[in-house]
Amino acid sequence: MVLVVVVASFVTVGLVAWRVRPRNRIGPLMMAVGLAYLLCDLSVQIGARYVASLWLGLLAQLVLAMPTGRLSSSTQRALVACAYVVILLPAIDAATRSGDHDPLGLLMAWKQWITFGLSLAFLIVQIVRWSRASVTQRRLVAPVLGSCLVVTGLFVLDKPTQHSELALKLALPLIPICYLIGLVYRRLDRAGVAGLVVRLGDVPRITRLSEELAATLHDPGVRLGFWAPARDDYVDADGQPMPPVPADRVVTRIDRGGRRIAILVHDRALLDEPELVSAACAATALALENEQLQADLRSRLRELVASRARLVHAAESGRRQLERDLHDGVQQRLLAAAMMLGRAEHGTDQALVTEAKGTVLATLAELRALCQGIHPPVLTERGLPGALRELADTAPILLDLDVTVGVGLSPEIESVAYYVVAEALTNAIKHADTAQAEVRVDRQGPRLVVRIEDHGRGGADPKSGSGLAGLADRVAAMGGELVVTSPVGHGTTVRAELPCES
């Protein structure tokens, strides 16, 4: 009965482990232990007693190879080798003995104690491993290491007393069962990543991200580094360079779509959990990308609010200026003209009429200038190409005009495009110290591209010149973009892209 339980538990769990982790040697090793145990039982019946203890060697190797399936240090490898030698000792002894000559007789006599010492060494190695393990490692290997300790402990006790053999046999299935528990644990860890995604969605804060990752990976020392394109390196949440990675930690890169996003500095033990780590990395990438998008959105929103405020302010001050111009100029002049005509009505002074006419004409001129400032009449009459031609015709510098758009632009877009050219031209005339400029206006897909280039002095600052800044706001309000490039000594290029779906 005990035999069936031991063999079945080792073989079954071995199969499961092999299936779940094909590259980990624990599965095959565990199956080998189960089969060797069966062989041991059979060997007693068929008399092949030399292979009877083979399972013990395999078990020794399994215990030290937990949980990776590899023997990681030379001590471990030496111990396992010793175990196999001790197990094969009777066979070697039988093969080398001839008559009375027995070179291994002494070893055979002490075999019991050698085995005891060896199993004690196994016990110590495992206790040392446990004490040196990081929190993350302990958590991962706790059940299986515990079961190994129990089995090894019982084996140690069994050697001098020979009384605990049944207990040992009963304890053996603990190893595969605990290993299975570990596997289930890891599955649950991975399921925990789903919770991580949900929690990160709630609070997409970079500092929280590290805490949440630490909890999900059960690695309190986990660190995140964020890719900083400006530095061409990874930085921590405060923007400082990442500290050097300690020997017991490893770095996993988090990329998304070929772009570097972050690095995860975590416990070496997590290398045994590639699925968990990659799931956590994917969740991190999602959260960071989300955070990036939100930051983008917030900054756009801030810019939008600011530019809207500037536009409202500009419109308001424009209206105030207009009111003042109308009040101080047009109204006063017309009043004066009316008064002159009133006086002329009752007298015979011809000069009064002439003066009144002059005043009315001056008012007309002033109104004309005002209208020009509000909206260029030529834009109303002739659209963008005609207005630009007029601009070129009256400009004091030579304007090389290349306008390949016809009709079909909305009046708003035409107006903004016109002011881009007019303002850039005014700047060029005032500051560039040049006799020539080029203007290109054409459609590129759904965008209207307006480009004004001079080969003058350069060095125009779109932030200091309120004209260019106001222009950028107007362009942005239409959903477009204005770029001013003006290297000192290499001319100025003002380029505006405007949406022009028609």
Interacting residues toward other proteins by CB under 8 A:
357, 360-361, 364-365, 368, 371-372, 377-378, 380-382, 386, 389-390, 393-398, 435
Note the Cα 435 to chain centre separation in Å.
50
Nearer to other proteins, 44 or 371 (CB): 371
Decide whether 349 or 400 has the Cβ nearer to other proteins: 400
Q: Which is nearer to other proteins, 95 or 398 (CB)?
A: 398
Tell me the CA distances in angstroms from 323 to 317, 333, 337, 365, one per residue in order.
10, 15, 20, 17
Q: What is the 3-state secondary structure (H, E, C) of 169-194?
A: HHHCCHHHHHHHHHHHHHHHHHHHHH
Q: What are phi and psi of 445, to 5 degrees?
A: 65, -130
Q: Which two tokens stand for residue 61?
A: 């190797």
77 versus 382: smaller Cβ distance to other proteins: 382
Give whichever of 273 and 454 is closer to other proteins, judged by the CB atom: 454
- The DSSP result for 68-119, as a single string, is TTS--SHHHHHHHHHHHHHHHHHHHHHHH-BTTB-TTHHHHHTHHHHHHHHH
Q: Measured from the CB of residue 422, what is the shortest distance to other proteins in angstroms? A: 15
Is the CB of 126 or the CB of 359 nearer to other proteins? 359
| CA gap 213, 362 in Å, rounded | 77
Q: Of 211 and 390, which CB lies nearer to other proteins in the complex structure? A: 390
Least distance in Å: CB of 472 to other proteins? Answer: 28
Tokens of 229: 């394109």
Q: Between 320 and 357, whose beta carbon lies closer to other proteins?
A: 357
The dihedral over CA atoms of 253, 17, 155, 117, expressed in degrees to the nearest 10, equals -40
Minimum separation from the CB atom of position 396 to other proteins (A)? 5
Nearer to other proteins, 81 or 397 (CB): 397
3-state secondary structure 380-391: HHHHHHHHHHHH
C-alpha to C-alpha distance for 298 and 308, rounded to whole angstroms = 15
Shortest spacing between CB 399 and other proteins, in angstroms: 9
Nearer to other proteins, 387 or 494 (CB): 387
Shortest CB 357 distance to other proteins, Å = 6
**Closest separation in Å from C-beta 300 to other proteins:** 38
Asked if residue 42 lies in contact with residue 51, where contact means CB atoms within 8 angstroms, the answer is no
Q: What does the alpha-carbon distance between residue 441 and residue 419 come to, in Å, rounded to a whole number?
A: 13
Q: How far apart, in whole angstroms, are the C-alpha atoms of residue 374 and residue 132?
A: 80
| Smallest distance, other proteins to C-beta of residue 296, A | 43
Rounding to the nearest 10 degrees, give the CA dihedral for residues 90, 94, 96, 97.
Answer: 120
Q: Cα(298)–Cα(294) distance, rounded to whole angstroms?
A: 6
We find the least distance from the C-beta atom of residue 447 to other proteins, in angstroms, to be: 26
Least Å distance, CB 374 to other proteins, is 13
**Beta-carbon contacts of residue 34 (< 8 Å; ≥ 6 apart):** 6, 7, 8, 9, 10, 11, 14
Please give the DSSP secondary-structure letter assigned to residue 276: H
Helix, strand, or coil here: 375?
Answer: coil
Spatial neighbors of 228 by CB under 8 A, at least 6 apart, are 234, 235, 239
Q: How far is the CB of 494 from other proteins (least distance, A)?
A: 21
Nearer to other proteins, 108 or 370 (CB): 370
| Least distance to other proteins, CB of residue 389, Å | 5
